[in-house]
Chain A
Amino acid sequence: DARVTQTPRHKVTEMGQEVTMRCQPILGHNTVFWYRQTMMQGLELLAYFRNRAPLDDSGMPKDRFSAEMPDATLATLKIQPSEPRDSAVYFCASGLYGPLSGTQYFGPGTRLTVL
């Protein structure tokens, strides 16, 4: 049963610290998405990749967030320095790009708390 995996599942850190979240997409999927979910804003798209190339990261605060995909099995989202307003659940999702497809499969999320 193929699944998207994310680590860590929970992270508590202090303001100013660097946070790195990792995602392993489903094998064979060529598109990866990073989302952030909060009660106030709902689900927001931060960035996404196709065939490891970043296509859009307009949803990310550029000064502190960065997303990379060093290889097909790993996507990372970094926050440096972290701020309390970054507290949220961060989801990674993967999918297979194509004209008739579009289903995104989500990982379990990383619950981030910045004190």
Chain B
Amino acid sequence: AQKITQTQPGMFVQEKEAVTLDCTYDTSDQSYGLFWYKQPSSGEMIFLIYQGSYDEQNATEGRYSLNFQKARKSANLVISASQLGDSAMYFCAMREAMDSNYQLIWGAGTKLIIKP
């Protein structure tokens, strides 16, 4: 079974609109971390935001926020006021505390295209 599921292979969004990228996860661990990364066409993988499973508040970093719904096992990325530079692949990833080897489990990614 997939541990990280990103159901949207691709999305088109009008510039300045808010964007929600979906991510659901599957774990039996009580302690885990959730990450979002951005990969623009230039290829680099850029860390965006982190949410720990025990964090009571949703993580925010500038225009990025993570809509963490623990009971539903979802960790959606919200980008407010989208910009053309937000066009990229976005990956959701999870680290389980039971994995002492510290590996990240990756989703397949969502390709986001911002339209002017």
Residues A91 and B45 in contact, CB atoms below 8 Å apart: yes
Instruction: Give residues of chain B (69-110) contacting chain A, Cβ–Cβ below 8 Å.
Output: 91, 95, 97, 101-104, 106, 108-109
Q: How large is the interface on B (under 10, 10 to 19, 20 to 34, 35 or more residues)?
A: 20 to 34
- Cβ-based interface call for A60 (8 A): no
Residues A102 and B45 in contact, CB atoms below 8 Å apart: no
Contact of B101 among A48, A103, A111 (CB under 8 A): A48
Using Cβ atoms and an 8 Å threshold, which residues of chain B touch A105? 47
- Cβ-based interface call for B62 (8 A): no
Measured between alpha carbons, how far is A23 from B46 in the docked complex, in Å? 17
Measured between alpha carbons, how far is A55 from B99 in the docked complex, in Å? 12
Contact of B95 among A55, A91, A102 (CB under 8 A): A102
Using Cβ atoms and an 8 Å threshold, which residues of chain A touch B102? 31, 48, 50, 95, 97, 102
Measured between alpha carbons, how far is A93 from B37 in the docked complex, in Å? 13
B interface, CB within 8 angstroms of A: 31, 33, 35, 37, 43-47, 50, 52, 91, 95, 97, 101-104, 106, 108-109
A interface, CB within 8 angstroms of B: 31, 42-43, 45, 48, 50, 55-56, 89, 91, 93, 95, 97, 99-100, 102-109, 111
